[in-house]
Structure 1
């Protein structure tokens, strides 16, 4: 009896241990499965078929075909330049820089065209939009849009810096400026296409539309070799000259290489013909006050100075006329 009872007790204990081990195994398996469910699985990058060739065909149909959908006026409004200028810049970029050349990618498909990259850069510059918005019309990712903007700005600076962004530094330019006597003046330039967010800062009660103060120096051949504009608020000639970078080099002790002589006196800086509102600075040549002027030499000087000072106003008038003819900027 004792042996049978002991065997039964041992078998029952083995069964209890087996059940306990199975229970532990079930609990551990459940915990592991829960951990696997909570652990986020790595996501693969989703490929977006943007169909850039279709977008390029749409761009050509809208603006660059033989009979484009949008006329020249709409092109100027949206690109802030004429179609001919756009095509000329695009051609230069494509000829001189590999980035703007349309090449096949690793899959054999053609990359974005030159017109698409230049359009993306100009839209971001003209409207201040983010690079992500280029995906709607040009089917271009934000990364490519940013690359297009960066390369466009760098290449434009390299192409046109020497001609259009140069400073008065060379001796021949100094000779030209001193002989032709550059004229300095300011004017309010109407800005009909001013962005809505900026209209309050560039509007005043005197003008019916937003306007910016333009400070320029022009010569007799209508060449404007200095221009400063963009300050918000109400400004005039004095406030503009106080913010202008025109005399930064002179303040810092930097001057152009070369000198010139007038009546046996050597001068190391150029001069500017201005009207009576400007301060009495050594670089400004103003006319004598007419009140009480009876000296024939002063009268002759006033006549010649006033005639030469009209060069910058004439340059303003010519450019405003051509701008109104092109219907660009809403100038009248």
Structure 2
């Protein structure tokens, strides 16, 4: 445990840098924060103390960026520099991580933390970002790949690998892999804000409710599926659904996603290979989105439809 945490901190920070560690229990007690030099955090005695606190119920976190020397708090003003970009994926984790890995809109991650089954935190070691460009990039990453939109602050803390995630009754040890040792620059991230704005990963199809009680989204889903099965043009169907659901925060995105997932599900049921389904989805939006984002989105939607079919078979 201690060596995993030490290796992670050594990879993320330079000698003599100041870092922030946070201990937070699930019980309603005040969190404990420590602002320390990297060398102190790496000391065996200090790591043993963190392990003791973790065994007694505390979750262990580390700030993603170094702090100014002499800092006493982990405020935005105390952050010394931008060291990492990151994304917290806690919904449909395996699918969204696969889409991120397959996308050429982002470079290979520096570290991928498995924080609990199906939930991940992904980091890229970077240079050349100021705080404004980091915040913009974090928001685009969260939108494009379905991450936690709250995880976009420069003073954000992430779980420290090697320790137990004590959030659940069955504790899960946080593990880490290091796909790449490169340091990336802003030019390596090809995320277009105008295109990403249309990719708010709020799933259009919610879980089923009680028998006989259907949400508006479920009604939309049934209607769209019926119309597609009877040959309705997807573009016209998208416009009509967006017009019907003007109450949505982003009616066009909602309509596009509903129609695209329903289309992918129909194609897969008809026996079309998933690679061909992805190509068909890419073709549908190739003039609206940058190629990298279009590809990642198509893959995510196709795998979502595939999982829906698998769940129905199991049920």
Scaled to the shorter chain, the TM-score interval is under 0.3
Q: Rg bigger for which structure? A: 1
Q: TM-score, normalised by structure 1?
A: 0.19
Higher strand share: 2
Q: TM-score, normalised by structure 2?
A: 0.20
Higher helix share: 1
Structure number with the bigger relative contact order (C-alpha 8 A, sep ≥ 6) is: 2
